[in-house]
């Protein structure tokens, strides 16, 4: 459990009326990050993941590329939560890669894409991994990941589209389906 802002969770503050206990930690006031509520503590998770990145057994050049890409993403206006997801994904991709990011050619990229495609992740997660791979390679090769920058030849062929037969059915029942009687 998270500490309740330096207070014993069972103690009462002076502004609490008798009969009311202290709020549980889950209901404690949330900290503010970038003028928005950080409900899921993504700022803390991102900082923790960056510390873990520093301790990873990879070359310093790869760690520096990942860090600078996260900074580039923040400069482009991506949220802290999105940057955390990108960092987590890049660490997963780097674990699968047999060489450095700059040294990766088409052969290594094909092996990496095959590894992602055969992973136990859901179709959406595999697609997200490939999108991050493509956009990160853009950053590695050209120094930016803008929409106007073309994809490098090493990753241009990677498809991120989800096949129609792999799409998940919506969890919500449509009005049309609700109006139809159950068929045996």
Give CA–CA dist 157/134, Å, rounded.
9
- pLDDT tops 50 at residue 32: no
- The pTM of the full predicted model, rounded to 2 decimals, is 0.71
The mean of the pLDDT values for the chain is 81
pLDDT digits (tens, 9 = 90+) for 130-154: 999 999 999 999 999 989 999 999 9
* DSSP 8-state code for residue 11: S
Give CA–CA dist 183/63, Å, rounded.
57
> Which of 76, 68, 118, 115 lies closest to 94 in space, CA to CA?
115
Name 137's Cβ contacts closer than 8 Å, sequence gap at least 6. Answer: 101, 104, 109, 151, 152, 154, 155
Comparing 6 with 51, the larger pLDDT belongs to 51
> Which of 98, 90, 46, 47 lies closest to 69 in space, CA to CA?
90
Indicate the pairing of strand 36-37 with strand 32-33: antiparallel
Helix (DSSP H) and strand (DSSP E) numbers for the chain = 6, 2
- pLDDT tops 80 at residue 127: yes
């Amino acid at each position: 459990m998270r500490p309740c802002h330096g207070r014993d969770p069972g103690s009462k503050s002076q502004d609490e009326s008798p009969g009311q206990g202290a709020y549980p930690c889950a209901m404690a006031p949330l900290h503010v990050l970038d003028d928005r509520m950080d409900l899921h503590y993504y700022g803390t998770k991102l900082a923790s993941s960056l510390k873990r990145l520093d301790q990873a057994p990879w070359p310093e050049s790869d760690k520096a590329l990942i860090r600078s890409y996260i900074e580039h993403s923040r400069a482009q206006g991506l949220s802290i939560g999105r940057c955390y997801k990108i960092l987590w994904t890049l660490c997963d991709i780097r674990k699968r890669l047999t060489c450095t990011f700059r040294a990766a050619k088409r052969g290594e990229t094909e092996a990496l894409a095959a590894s992602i495609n055969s992973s136990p992740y859901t179709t959406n997660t595999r697609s997200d991994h490939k999108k991050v791979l493509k956009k990160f390679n853009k950053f590695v090769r050209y120094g930016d990941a803008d929409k106007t920058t073309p994809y490098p030849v090493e990753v241009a062929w990677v498809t991120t589209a989800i096949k129609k037969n792999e799409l998940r059915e919506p969890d919500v029942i449509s009005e049309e389906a609700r109006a139809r009687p159950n068929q045996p």
